Structure 1
Amino acid sequence: MITIEQLSNFQKITSKCDISQIIVDTIKNEKFSIKDGDILCIASKLLSKAEGNFINLNTIIPSNLAKNIHKKLPRKDPRLIQVIIDQTQDPTGKKLRIENNFIGAFLPNGLFLTSGGVDKYKDDIVLSLPHNCDKIARNIGVRIQQQLGAKVAIIITDSDGRIDKVGATQVAVGLYGINGLRRTTFRKKNNVETICDMLAAASGLIMGQRGSGFPLVKISGYKYEFNAETKLIDAIN
C-alpha cells in the first residue's frame, strides 16, 4: 500500500540558509518517521528561497523582445518576461513557447517549464528555479542518511501548467536515489513511464500550490531500487 504524508510545522524560509540541515532538524523535532525506501518530495520554491534566488523586478530592464512578447501577453510584466528569457540563457527567444495566455521555456538542462520555472514571491520579487536540483537532492539525501540513518530517495518538485488545461500540477525537476523512468512490459511490448512525475503529482495532493499546503511530503510503500547515481537528465527527452 502506498501512503502519502506531510511533514508539518516546517519553518518559513525567507533567506539563504542550510536547507538540508533544517530539513533534518525538522524531521527530528516533529518526530517524523522515515525509513529506508521512503521517498521525500520537496517543493522547489522552498529550495529557491534557501538558495537566495530572489530577483527584484525593479532591477530588471526588459529587452525589446520582452516588450514585444508583453504585447501578446499583457498580463505578464515585461520585466518578468525578461527574467524568463534570462533563464533560457538564449537572448533570441528561440527557447520560448508562447500560445494564447501561456508562456513556457526550455531551460539549459533540457527541462520545459511554465514561465521557465520562475515564480512570483511577493510584490516585485520573483524566485528562479534552484540552479542544480539534482545536486541539492543529493545533498539532502546524503545528510538524512548521515544523521538519521535512513536511505531515502529525494524528488524535487515544481508546479507546472499546460497549454491545454487550466491550473497546474507537480513535476520532477531534480532526483536522487530513484530512477526517473519505470520500464514495464505489456503484451510483449516495452513501455516507459515517467515515474518521477507520477510521484511528484501524487505529492501535489498534499503539497498544494503557492504555499497553500506543505513543502515536504513523504511517499511510503512504492517499491524501487535505490540508486545513488540517478539524475533527472536520464528522464529528459
Structure 2
Amino acid sequence: MITVVAPDGVPEVRAGDDLAALLLGALDEPLADGDVVVVTSKVVSKAEGRVAQGDREQWIDAETERTVAVRGRTRIVRNRLGLTMAAAGVDASNVPNGSVVLLPLDPDVSARTLRAAVRERGGANVGVIVTDTAGRTWREGQTDLAIGAAGVVVLESYAGRVDEHGNELAVTAPALADEIASAAELAQGKLAGRPFAVLRGRPDLVLPAGEDGPGAAVLVRAEGADLFGYGAREAVVRAVAAAAGDQVPFGSVATVDEMVDAFGRAGVPAVAAEGVVRCPADRAAVAAVLAFAHGWTVEPEAADGADPRTDLRIRPMTP
C-alpha cells in the first residue's frame, strides 16, 4: 500500500532556514528507511535565498536560455536548467509585491543536501524529490513534476522486457519521480501551506545510503532531442529566418529519404542520388526553408551542365 502524508504547521520559510529541521519538526511520526520526501521548489528557493527584487519579465529574460513559444503574455521557454515551462519557472505568488521566486540554482544538489541532513539527524535513509508545477503539451491544466532528486530511482526503463502476450517493449520508461511528485501534490494542495510530503510504500525506489543517483536532470531531454523544439508559429519563423543558432532545436540531420518525403509533402518535386537531393531552381525559397529545418543546406550555385528541371542541389550540413 502506498500512502502520502503532507504535514500541516510548517511556518513561512525564509532565507537561511533549515529545511530538514522544519520537515522533521512537522511530522507526527519519524521518517523510516525507504520513505520518499517530497518538497516544493518554492520553499527550497526561499531557504536558499532565491527570492529576488525587480520586474518579473526581466527575471524571466535572465532565466531564459531559449524562447519556445509566445502567445499573448504567456511565454514558454527553455530555462537555464533545461526545463521547458511557462515564465522560465519564475513565480510571483506567495511573496511580497515587487518580489519573485527563482528556481533553485541546482535542484539536484538541493535534494542531495536535504537527504544528507535528514540522514544525519533522523537516521533514516530516504529519497528526496524537489518539485515544481508545469503544464503539458496537448493537455489542459498543470501537474507537479520532479526538477530535483536524490537517492531515488527517477526513470525506469522497460526496454527489452516482454509483456504477458510475448510482445517486447521498446520505449516504455515510466518517469517515476514525476509520478511521485504528482501524487504528493494531491496531499499538499496549492494553498494549504504544506510544502512537504512523505510517500511511503515504495522502498524499492530508494537507493542505498551514500548513493544519490543521477538526479532529475536525466529527465530533461537534450536540445534537439525533443520533437517539439518550437511552437507551431515559432518553428515557421525560425526556419524562414534560418539563423545558425536556431538549428539545434530542429533536431538531428534528416536522412535522404526523409528529405525527399518532406519535399514531396510540401509540393516540391525532388530526386535523390549519391546523398544529394535535387529540386527545381524556381522553388529555391521553399527548398531553403525545408533544408534548414531538416539540417540540410542548399548549395550556393548549381553545377555546370545541371538539368534545368532539377538544378538546385541540397546536401546535409554535416557529412
TM-score, L = length of structure 1 = 0.80
Contact preservation (8 Å) 2:38, 2:184: yes
Matched residues in 2 for 1:105 and 1:177: separation? 29
Matched residue, 1:220:
200
The CA deviation at 1:13 is 1.2
The CA deviation at 1:126 is 1.0
Q: Which has the higher strand share?
A: 1
Matched residue, 1:109:
81
Contact preservation (8 Å) 2:8, 2:193: no
Matched residues in 2 for 1:202 and 1:213: separation? 17
Task: Using the aligned pairs only, state the percent identity.
Answer: 24
Matched residues in 2 for 1:81 and 1:179: separation? 35
The CA deviation at 1:139 is 0.8
Contact preservation (8 Å) 1:174, 1:231: yes
The CA deviation at 1:165 is 4.4
- Which SS does the other structure have where 1:183 is aligned? coil
Matched residue, 2:132:
158
Matched residue, 1:86:
62
Contact preservation (8 Å) 2:38, 2:196: yes
Which one of 149, 160, 174 corresponds to residue 193 of structure 1?
Answer: 174
RMSD across aligned positions (CA): 2.0
- Which runs of no fewer than 5 residues in structure 1 stay unpaired? 58-78
The CA deviation at 1:7 is 2.1
Matched residue, 2:29:
32
The CA deviation at 1:101 is 5.3
The CA deviation at 1:21 is 3.5
Which one of 174, 179, 183 corresponds to residue 148 of structure 2?
Answer: 174
- Residues 163 and 98 (structure 1), Cα distance of their counterparts in 2 relative to 1, 3 Å cut: farther
The CA deviation at 1:188 is 1.5
The CA deviation at 1:214 is 1.0
Kindly indicate whether residue 46 of structure 2 is the aligned counterpart of residue 49 of structure 1: yes
Contact preservation (8 Å) 1:114, 1:162: no
Q: Flag the structure with more relative contact order, 1 or 2, with Cα contacts below 8 A and sequence separation at least 6.
A: 1
Which one of 81, 101, 114 corresponds to residue 127 of structure 1?
Answer: 101
Matched residue, 1:13:
13
Contact preservation (8 Å) 1:84, 1:115: yes
Matched residues in 1 for 2:125 and 2:69: separation? 39
Count of aligned positions: 208
Greater mean deviation of Cα atoms: 186-195 or 40-49: 186-195
The CA deviation at 1:219 is 0.6
- Residues 180 and 99 (structure 1), Cα distance of their counterparts in 2 relative to 1, 3 Å cut: farther
The CA deviation at 1:18 is 2.9
Question: Which structure's CA Rg is the greater one?
Answer: 2
